[in-house]
C-alpha cells in the first residue's frame, strides 16, 4: 500500500512539473574578438538543460562548420572530446585571422529522448565578430532550420530586447514556439519555481519573436518544430524535434 502511494505521489510530482528544455550549445571562449591576443578562440559544444546545469551526452556531431562571407568550412575534424556538466562534450580551437563575422554551426547526431518519445536534432549557432567588422550577422545560412537574428547578436547590454526570425526550410514559421534559457554557468541564479527555468515566447504571424533579456550572460533561444519525416527507433517510426538554436551574450556596462 505504501509503495503504491509513493509511486502515485511521484507520478503526480512528475506530471505537475514542467519538463526541462533541451538545448544544443556552442559557446565560444570570446563572444567578440577585438585584438590578436584573443584571436585563438575555443568553442565548446554540448547538450544540456543550461539553467539547471544538468548535462546530457553529446555524441560526435554530424557536422561543425564556420560560415564567413557566404562560404562554409567544415571543422568536424578539429573536434576533441571534452566534458561539460559531467557529460561527454566536444571542443575545437579556431584561429581568427581577419576581420569578419564568423557564424559557427553544429548539426548534431539525432538524440533519442525516451521521455518525449522522439528524436531531437538542434541546429545550433553562435556568432563571433572580429576586428571591428559587423556586416553579415543577419545573413541566413540555408540550414534546415535556423534563427536569423533581427537584433545584432553581439555588443548587447543586459536589458536589451532581442528579436529573431524563425526559418524552417528557408521559410518563416508563423507562431513558432521559442524556448529561452540562461546558461547558469556559475550557479549565480536560482529559479523561484519550475515555470521560471525556461521562458517561452511565440513568434508572430511573420515568424518573428521578441524577448527582453533581464540580466547579463549567455542566453539561448530554441525555436522548436516537428519534422515532416520520421526516424526509425527499434522498428517504430518516431517524430523528430527540429530545434533552431542561437546563443548570444549580453553584458553589463563597464564603470569608470
User: Residue 58 and residue 181: Cα distance in Å, rounded?
Assistant: 19
Average pLDDT (213-228) is 96
- In the structure, what pLDDT confidence band is assigned to residue 19 with cuts at 50, 70 and 90? low
pLDDT of residue 6: 38
Q: Is the pLDDT of residue 255 over 50?
A: yes
The residue ranges of every structural domain in the chain are: 21-251
- In tens, the pLDDT along 114-141 reads 989 999 999 999 999 999 999 999 999 9
Q: Considering Cα of 29, then 32, then 33, then 38, what sign does the dihedral take?
A: negative
Pairing of strands 161-168, 80-84: unpaired
- In this predicted structure, the answer to whether residue 14 has a pLDDT above a threshold of 50 is no
pLDDT per residue as tens digits for the range 159-195:
999 999 999 999 999 999 999 999 999 999 999 999 9
Find out whether 222 and 189 touch, Cβ atoms under 8 Å.
no
Kind and range of the H or E run holding 200: strand 199-202
User: To the nearest whole number, what is the mean pLDDT of the chain?
Assistant: 91
46-75: average pLDDT: 96
Q: Per-residue pLDDT averaged across 44-60, rounded?
A: 95
Amino acid at each position: 500500500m505504501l509503495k503504491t502511494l509513493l509511486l502515485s505521489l511521484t507520478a503526480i510530482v512528475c506530471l505537475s512539473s514542467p519538463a526541462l528544455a533541451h538545448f544544443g550549445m556552442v559557446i565560444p571562449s570570446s563572444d567578440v574578438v577585438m585584438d590578436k591576443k584573443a584571436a585563438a578562440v575555443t568553442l565548446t559544444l554540448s547538450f544540456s538543460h543550461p539553467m539547471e546545469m544538468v548535462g546530457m551526452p553529446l555524441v560526435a556531431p554530424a557536422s561543425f562548420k564556420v560560415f564567413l562571407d557566404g562560404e562554409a568550412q567544415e571543422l568536424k575534424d578539429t573536434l576533441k572530446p571534452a566534458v561539460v556538466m559531467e557529460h561527454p562534450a566536444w571542443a575545437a580551437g579556431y584561429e581568427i585571422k581577419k576581420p569578419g563575422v564568423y557564424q559557427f554551426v553544429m548539426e548534431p547526431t539525432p538524440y533519442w529522448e525516451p521521455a518525449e518519445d522522439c528524436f531531437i536534432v538542434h541546429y545550433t549557432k553562435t556568432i563571433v565578430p572580429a576586428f571591428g567588422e559587423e556586416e553579415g550577422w543577419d545573413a541566413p545560412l540555408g540550414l534546415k532550420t535556423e534563427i536569423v537574428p533581427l537584433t545584432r547578436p553581439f555588443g548587447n547590454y543586459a536589458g536589451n530586447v532581442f528579436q529573431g526570425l524563425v526559418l524552417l526550410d528557408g521559410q518563416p514559421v508563423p507562431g513558432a514556439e521559442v524556448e529561452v534559457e540562461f546558461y547558469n554557468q556559475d550557479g549565480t541564479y536560482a529559479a523561484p519555481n519550475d515555470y521560471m527555468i525556461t521562458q517561452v515566447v511565440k513568434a508572430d504571424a511573420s515568424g518573428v519573436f521578441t524577448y527582453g533579456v533581464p540580466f547579463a550572460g549567455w542566453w539561448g533561444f530554441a525555436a522548436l518544430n516537428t519534422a515532416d519525416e520520421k526516424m526509425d527507433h527499434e522498428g517504430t517510426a518516431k517524430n523528430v524535434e527540429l530545434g533552431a538554436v542561437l546563443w548570444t551574450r549580453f553584458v553589463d556596462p563597464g564603470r569608470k
